[in-house]
Structure 1
């Protein structure tokens, strides 16, 4: 069993900026496919089953003429909810993070709770936030606001295993 006692996530464990950018692009594509796919499926079902299609016609027409600021806000909220759902259900991972072998953890190496994932997800609504991980430390505003870290899983597990081994050695010496 791996212990998290006295474990600290250090910059050498952080996912690279390239991995972070890849995560962003993959997740954005997946989330857009989910959003558009869901809307397409619902519209198709509505048109197939409803006798009066005017409500759907009005809805689609309204989407075409939506205020650009409202469009951006609604899109950001939908993306935040998709990030929240995905990272919560997959314990700190998204499709992009699975592909790049990265995950979200807290400073002590444990998994964030739902509130931390919620902070992380809704911090993404901040304008230009997607570019914030390009700073010197490679952590985005959604990381710093939620106090989370995106780590390279191989490096993280290796350090956690080494840490656990040292903890076990210390306990064996104390017991003698």
Structure 2
């Protein structure tokens, strides 16, 4: 798939996502079968991002109507961002792709989390002798389809990314702060919505949820940085993780890097150092990228 087709696919996905949200909202007000069929049709092809839906702590950002429509403010916003990112990508002659990579990586994370959650829930589902309904099958197909699409498009967009190999430039502390804030918000939002974690419970429950959140955060960083070399936060600023000797990323380095993030006071000391401990200990760096498609592909 060339760069033009990628742009068209993502622009259409953004438009379809927005239309699907508007139709769903209309259906929540007017119970009409034609609107329902249109909504379901658009909904299947939409990214359907719902980072806050069903979160007890973020109930002010979503609502569930009586006829089953979930209205997620942040999800609709991300569809708008996806659309604007696609338009920016075209206008920049297919060079500026940070926004697209950012949104696609969020879609990938959400779908993988939903698929994993569905797999873990399967034994309970079967033990209760519940049959797969058509709607459940469609939803599961949608998750798998968009996980594959988002991963495929991220890899395609990453093909043309070149690290400045002659003299890699480390990102500054401001970008690192953006990475930390954005990534923390993303995995906390999805942990709260998709895993049902709440920090308004009793102390024991909140402590348990905190450990689950830390575990999810470690998986988030390890998988994203090992498989893609970036996290959503890093994609947003056009940054990438590399080994100091610029050899391919290795699982042992990324594992050490991930674990080192949770050393006490690591974040505090990072404010006064050129590179944080998780960089120095793992022999890695976070560098700025230049974007360029090879041979126009």
- When the two structures are superposed, what TM-score results if normalisation uses the length of structure 1? 0.61
Q: 1:98 to 1:123 in 2, by over 3 A?
A: same
- Structure having greater relative contact order (Cα 8 Å, sep ≥ 6): 1
The Cα offsets for residues 60-111 of structure 1, whole Å up to 9 and x where unpaired, read as 8xx6331776655443232112111121221x10001000001110112233
Q: 1:144 to 1:85 in 2, by over 3 A?
A: same
Aligned length: 126
Can you give the 5+ residue segments of structure 2 that lack an aligned partner in the other structure?
Answer: 1-164, 293-297
Q: 236, 261, 266: which one pairs with 1:99?
A: 236
Aligned-residue CA RMSD (Å): 2.8
Deviation at 1:25, TM superposition (A): 0.4
Q: Aligned equivalents of 1:68 and 1:34: distance in 2? A: 16
Q: Aligned equivalents of 1:151 and 1:17: distance in 2? A: 12
The Cα offsets for residues 99-136 of structure 1, whole Å up to 9 and x where unpaired, read as 00011101122332111111111111112222333224
Partner of 2:257: 120
Q: Aligned equivalents of 1:136 and 1:153: distance in 2? A: 22
Partner of 2:224: 86
Partner of 2:172: 16
Q: Aligned equivalents of 2:176 and 2:249: distance in 1? A: 18
Q: Aligned equivalents of 1:113 and 1:102: distance in 2? A: 18
CA contact (8 A) 2:182 2:232 kept: yes
Partner of 2:193: 37
1:134 aligns with 2:134: no
* SS of residue in 1 equivalent to 2:204: coil
Can you give the 5+ residue segments of structure 1 that lack an aligned partner in the other structure?
Answer: 1-6, 44-59, 159-176
